[in-house]
Chains A and B, each alone.
Chain A
Amino acid sequence: MRRTPRETAESAVRVTRRGLILGGLQLGFAATLALRMRHLQVDQADEFRLLAEENRINIRLIPPARGRIFDREGRVIAENEQTYRITIVREDAGDVDAVIARLSQLVELEEDALNRALAEMKRTAPFFPVTVADRVDWEDISRVAVNAPALPGVTPEVGLSRVYPQGDLFAHVAGYVQRVQDRNLALYEDPPAVLRVPGFQHGQVGVEARMENLLRGEAGTKRVEVNAAGRVMRELDRREGEAGADIQLTVDSALQDYIHARLGAESASVVVMDLEKGDLLAIGSSPSYDPNKFVHGISSKDFKVLLDDDHRPLASKTVQDAYPPGSTFKMVTALAALDAGLVAPDETVWCPGHMEIGSRRFHCWKRVGHGHMNLEQSLRESCDVYYYDLALKVGIERIAEMGRRLGLGVAHDVPMSAVTSGLMPDKAWKLRERGSEWVIGDSVNASIGQGFVLSSPLQLAVMCARIATGRDISPRLIKSVDGVETPSRAGQSLGLNEAHLRQVRNAMYAVSNSRRGTAFASRIVADGLRMSGKTGTAQVSSNVVDNNSVPWEQRDHALFVNFAPHDTPRIAVSVVVEHGGGGSAAAAPIARDVTLQALYGEDPPLEAYPSSDRSRIKAQQDRLARERRIRDAEGQSRA
């Protein structure tokens, strides 16, 4: 229906006017939009560009390879192995249940791990790889790889994990690593970012913990582009990190291996110290445990077994346990008295088997008495009364000072966990810690290494080393870091009178080599390798008359310290056998075997032993050779 257009001049003008007004307003608004655009895109462009980059670029850390740990011969104590795990990406898998069913026909999947993985899949983004099987072996991985077409979304992945090829040998020394835990983070004011990488390992115990900062290395970084959901789209660039420093310890795996075999089931510890630079050749604490179990996360059942064992495998007895040193302390008392000039070596003391001090009677271990005793005889036969007499003359302050000079009562600087300072008591200590006055009986007990005195096997070895050399020698555990040798720990002379030292050393020689010496049965007969030592027996509970008639945990600790060879000392050894009974019977034979093993660097010839022992030693050598892990051939191939 066409009609003539309705048109009046008035309406046309009005529409035109209003239309132009509105058009003007629209243009004005468009200009506002343009200005806003300019504001955002020109004035604030730099700021927004930065924000866009922050959105897009994510910096990921590349965990560094941890430094390895070697023994002094270059045998591996700790290294990194490639571990394989199987991951599933939900998004790529499609039907996850079907894929897992197929996977479980190829690889054994643990129910726990699988349930955990399925739970994790529900929580995480669909493109996030979830581990369904950790630490699978290479055959499993290759089976998965071959069947890859049937397993969409399943990827074998490689990572690095710590491994201790020597098993339990160095558990207490090198320690172990575990996944980073809260208490590890608490060690740092500003924890390195790499510690937050999932699965990253941190030293927990021993050298691994104490040298963590050297071993860890520097993390590399890679910049990746991510989308809004966090999925990595591509890698932009990467800066490689730096592997951790390799650390060489002073220990000798073969000797350590021998010591563990020799100690057997005993709860015991042995320290062997080289006298040239203070190197710790062996630090054996028995029984031990497999650190590899801790790396993977030890089961609570296995852990409970370790905790409940009364032989305390978890304890690092060489450095963390402090025992009364018993008679091995008598050298300290003797040197203190000689140093003070209050006693001459030839002066004798009458030992009737006991000594009355005030109203108390202090017994000698030999109830019938030793008779007249001079310095050498008293040490040789370990007469207690002689030292009671010295204590009365010298006093605790001088004894304590000598003890500290010889390395007792101070925590030695070795990078192991829970290194004890032991206890070298004096009057001030007792007043401070016990709130009571030092009494003369305390000095008497201390003079024979009982009472308050406590020392670790490491301290006893250091004491012996200092007596043997007269030098301020300290233990060294780290031989080199990344091939750079650490400084020798054999210091300057202690400033003790050489004649006094010689008298004590000769007395120790008599202990091991005189027919009347308490360790005569455990002597070395090889010329030039004869050893000098001192037995000790530390009371665990009072009034034990016969160690064989009381329960194990009430028996005395057996101790022995020695150095060898007597004329040109090369090593110092300390042995503590917990609840082993007497030092001469339980500790001295171990010390002799270890000493010979260390001096020869292999099984010693039977000629080094007294002829009466040889057949027994032969059988022992054969037995231990079978038990040891590191045989010469194997040791060479590792080196």
Chain B
Amino acid sequence: MTYLEHKVKSVPAGWRKVLFLNWPLILLLSAVAGVGFLMLYSVAGGSFRPWAEPQMKRFAMGLALMAVVAMVPIWFWRNLSFVAYLVALALLVFVTFFGTAAGGSQRWIDLGFMRLQPSELMKVTLVMLLAAYYDWLPLKKTSRPLWVILPVLLILLPAGLVFEQPDLGTALLILMGGGLMMFLAGVHWAYFAAVIALGGGLVLAVFESKGTDWQLLGDYHYKRIETFVDPTSDPLGAGYHITQAKIAMGSGGWTGKGYMQGTQSRLNFLPEKHTDFIFNTLAEEFGFVGGFSLLILYVLILLFCILSAVQNRDRYSSLLILGIGVTFFLYFAVNMSMVMGLAPVVGVPLPLVSYGGSAMLVLMVAFGLVQSAHIHRPR
């Protein structure tokens, strides 16, 4: 609770708001995005095209969006939460029926200048909605079954739609993000214990159902899980990606092979090297030092979020900041787990680093909300 603020008696107004932005957070986000540019330049073989340059433009756009969102008072956004959720839900419904078919699933709305992924949008709007919900809900009702079922339905609805696309990874992220929001809001422990027990049972059922008439997941999901458990079982098929990703990472060693010297990525052994597996390129070229540094940057972003949330005495604001922090955490934690062979490959990008429009813009808007909550916190 240092910088500038101890002299401020009330919420700043006008251009003075710029001074009260959470500048360390902006610097950290820019540093992470910078790592992304560096790696996208490298995997393109030392070229700004086709990835680094569009990514930089998008980040610039994201920064602008973040600034705009940050300037608008947080209570405005709070009042918009429910509408935002409905819009995202509508887009999700739309994409399930009219979305552009790609990669065997419908995930995008083609806006012309970019492809919008409503499921990304949903991650943030769901956090907003749940924050507003628990802000509105009297504290003593928080753990009452009726008031627990309502948010559960609000979570399950979009998660189910995303699962139908089918995009198991994002559906799980939505479920976990929503669940953790409820945890933050103070829902009773017992519910989570019950859900965890139920989840365990469900996982068991999923495996039991394999090959039967009531098989719960698509064949390709089972395939991914199988090759995750034992990548060598299918070294030239689905296991190839995991194996090559681990080789790229492991061969980096302590300090890496040097910038643009990563053989695994440069020679295309690494799959999806500019999107899901970009972390492996980083780890290959900059070694443990590089990979660990990025992890530290991510953790610092998390810590600044938690710090900001703890400082904030507005319930909506602190829930929102923590929720966005959790969403951000889930992104990088799932992506890193998957590229390091700790989780099945489910197609989650590395936040702010992987090439891709929707995720970056949505995240920047989300951090705009964090900034807004930070600037307009009660004093």
Interface residue from B248, B266, B267, B333 paired with A30 (Cβ < 8 Å): B333
A128-145 with Cβ < 8 A to chain B? none
What is the minimal beta-carbon distance from A3 to any residue of chain B, in angstroms?
A: 7
B140-197 with Cβ < 8 A to chain A? 180, 183-186
Does B48 have its Cβ within 8 Å of any Cβ on chain A? no
Known: A15-B318, A23-B303. A33 touches B333 (CB 8 A): yes
A228→B310 contact, CB < 8 A = no
B76: chain A residues within 8 A (beta carbon): 1
B269→A55 contact, CB < 8 A = yes
A3 nearest CB neighbor, chain B only: B75
Known: A37-B283, A40-B249, A41-B287. A23 touches B302 (CB 8 A): yes
B322: chain A residues within 8 A (beta carbon): 15, 19, 22
A37: chain B residues within 8 A (beta carbon): 249, 283, 288, 291-292, 295, 340
Does A626 have its Cβ within 8 Å of any Cβ on chain B? no
A40→B306 contact, CB < 8 A = no
A4 to B325, CA, bound (A): 25
Known: A1-B79, A5-B378, A229-B268. A38 touches B288 (CB 8 A): yes
A1-49 with Cβ < 8 A to chain B? 1-8, 10-12, 14-16, 18-20, 22-23, 26-27, 29-30, 32-34, 36-38, 40-42, 44-45, 47-49
B253→A45 contact, CB < 8 A = yes
Does A226 have its Cβ within 8 Å of any Cβ on chain B? yes
Interface size of B by Cβ–Cβ distance < 8 Å? Answer: 58
A52→B247 contact, CB < 8 A = yes
Does A233 have its Cβ within 8 Å of any Cβ on chain B? yes
B336: chain A residues within 8 A (beta carbon): 33
Known: A10-B139, A22-B322. A16 touches B310 (CB 8 A): yes
Does B54 have its Cβ within 8 Å of any Cβ on chain A? no
What is the minimal beta-carbon distance from A576 to any residue of chain B, in angstroms?
A: 62
Does A223 have its Cβ within 8 Å of any Cβ on chain B? no
Does A611 have its Cβ within 8 Å of any Cβ on chain B? no
A195 to B301, CA, bound (A): 60
A52→B79 contact, CB < 8 A = no
B326→A2 contact, CB < 8 A = no
A91 to B322, CA, bound (A): 52
B302: chain A residues within 8 A (beta carbon): 23, 26-27, 30
Chain B 260-283 per-residue mask, 1 if CB under 8 angstroms from chain A, else 0: 000110111100000000000001
A30→B295 contact, CB < 8 A = yes
A44 to B263, CA, bound (A): 18
Chain B 359-377 per-residue mask, 1 if CB under 8 angstroms from chain A, else 0: 0000000000000000000
B317: chain A residues within 8 A (beta carbon): 5
B315→A6 contact, CB < 8 A = yes
A55: chain B residues within 8 A (beta carbon): 244, 247, 263-264, 267, 269
B186→A14 contact, CB < 8 A = yes
B269→A42 contact, CB < 8 A = no
B250→A228 contact, CB < 8 A = no
B47: chain A residues within 8 A (beta carbon): none
B250→A44 contact, CB < 8 A = yes
A1 to B80, CA, bound (A): 11
Chain B 293-313 per-residue mask, 1 if CB under 8 angstroms from chain A, else 0: 001001100110010011001
B243 nearest CB neighbor, chain A only: A51
A27→B250 contact, CB < 8 A = no
Does B73 have its Cβ within 8 Å of any Cβ on chain A? yes
Does A404 have its Cβ within 8 Å of any Cβ on chain B? no
Does B246 have its Cβ within 8 Å of any Cβ on chain A? yes
Does A274 have its Cβ within 8 Å of any Cβ on chain B? no
A19: chain B residues within 8 A (beta carbon): 184, 306, 309-310, 318, 322
What is the minimal beta-carbon distance from A43 to any residue of chain B, in angstroms?
A: 9
B184→A18 contact, CB < 8 A = yes
A45: chain B residues within 8 A (beta carbon): 250-254
What is the minimal beta-carbon distance from A262 to any residue of chain B, in angstroms?
A: 65
B75→A2 contact, CB < 8 A = yes
A141-192 with Cβ < 8 A to chain B? none
Does B314 have its Cβ within 8 Å of any Cβ on chain A? yes
Counting chain B CB atoms within 10 Å of each CB, the highest count among A12, A29, A30, A49 belongs to A30
B112-132 with Cβ < 8 A to chain A? none
A29→B333 contact, CB < 8 A = yes
Does B319 have its Cβ within 8 Å of any Cβ on chain A? yes
Does A471 have its Cβ within 8 Å of any Cβ on chain B? no
A20: chain B residues within 8 A (beta carbon): 306, 310
A34: chain B residues within 8 A (beta carbon): 292, 295
B287: chain A residues within 8 A (beta carbon): 41
B340→A40 contact, CB < 8 A = yes
Interface residue from B251, B267, B314 paired with A227 (Cβ < 8 Å): B267
Interface residue from A4, A33, A40 paired with B337 (Cβ < 8 Å): A33
B75→A48 contact, CB < 8 A = no
Chain A 230-262 per-residue mask, 1 if CB under 8 angstroms from chain B, else 0: 000100000000000000000000000000000
B252→A7 contact, CB < 8 A = no
Does A56 have its Cβ within 8 Å of any Cβ on chain B? yes
Does A225 have its Cβ within 8 Å of any Cβ on chain B? yes
A260-305 with Cβ < 8 A to chain B? none
A27 to B325, CA, bound (A): 12
What is the minimal beta-carbon distance from B338 to any residue of chain A, in angstroms?
A: 11
Does B64 have its Cβ within 8 Å of any Cβ on chain A? no
Does B329 have its Cβ within 8 Å of any Cβ on chain A? yes
A50 nearest CB neighbor, chain B only: B251
A56→B254 contact, CB < 8 A = no
Interface residue from A2, A16, A33, A41 paired with B252 (Cβ < 8 Å): A41
What is the minimal beta-carbon distance from A60 to any residue of chain B, in angstroms?
A: 16
A38 to B184, CA, bound (A): 31
B315: chain A residues within 8 A (beta carbon): 5-7, 11-12, 15
Counting chain A CB atoms within 10 Å of each CB, the highest count among B244, B250, B306, B378 belongs to B250
A23: chain B residues within 8 A (beta carbon): 302-303, 306
A12 to B269, CA, bound (A): 51
What is the minimal beta-carbon distance from B132 to any residue of chain A, in angstroms?
A: 11
Interface residue from A4, A18, A33, A56 paired with B183 (Cβ < 8 Å): A18
A18: chain B residues within 8 A (beta carbon): 183-186
What is the minimal beta-carbon distance from A549 to any residue of chain B, in angstroms?
A: 75
A1: chain B residues within 8 A (beta carbon): 75-76, 79
A33 to B186, CA, bound (A): 28
Interface residue from A6, A15, A33, A48 paired with B247 (Cβ < 8 Å): A48
B268→A41 contact, CB < 8 A = no
A8 to B137, CA, bound (A): 13
A2: chain B residues within 8 A (beta carbon): 73, 75
What is the minimal beta-carbon distance from B321 to any residue of chain A, in angstroms?
A: 9
Does B19 have its Cβ within 8 Å of any Cβ on chain A? no
B267→A226 contact, CB < 8 A = yes
A52→B309 contact, CB < 8 A = no
A14 to B303, CA, bound (A): 18
Counting chain A CB atoms within 10 Å of each CB, the highest count among B184, B251, B303 belongs to B251
A51→B251 contact, CB < 8 A = yes
Counting chain B CB atoms within 10 Å of each CB, the highest count among A5, A12, A27 belongs to A5
B333 nearest CB neighbor, chain A only: A29
What is the minimal beta-carbon distance from B294 to any residue of chain A, in angstroms?
A: 10
What is the minimal beta-carbon distance from A230 to any residue of chain B, in angstroms?
A: 10
A467 to B78, CA, bound (A): 120
Nearest 6 pairs of A and B residues by beta carbon: A48-B250, A52-B251, A227-B267, A5-B314, A228-B268, A45-B253
Having A2-B75, A11-B139, one finds 9 other A-B pairs with CB under 8 Å, namely A6-B314, A10-B139, A14-B139, A18-B184, A26-B302, A41-B291, A52-B247, A52-B263, A55-B263
29 A-B contact pairs sorted by A residue (CB < 8 Å):
A3-B75, A7-B313, A11-B315, A15-B186, A18-B186, A20-B310, A22-B180, A22-B326, A26-B333, A27-B302, A29-B333, A32-B342, A33-B333, A34-B295, A37-B249, A37-B292, A41-B249, A41-B250, A41-B253, A41-B287, A42-B253, A42-B254, A45-B252, A48-B249, A49-B253, A52-B250, A56-B263, A56-B267, A56-B269
A residues apposed to B, CB below 8 Å: 1-8, 10-12, 14-16, 18-20, 22-23, 26-27, 29-30, 32-34, 36-38, 40-42, 44-45, 47-49, 51-53, 55-56, 225-229, 233
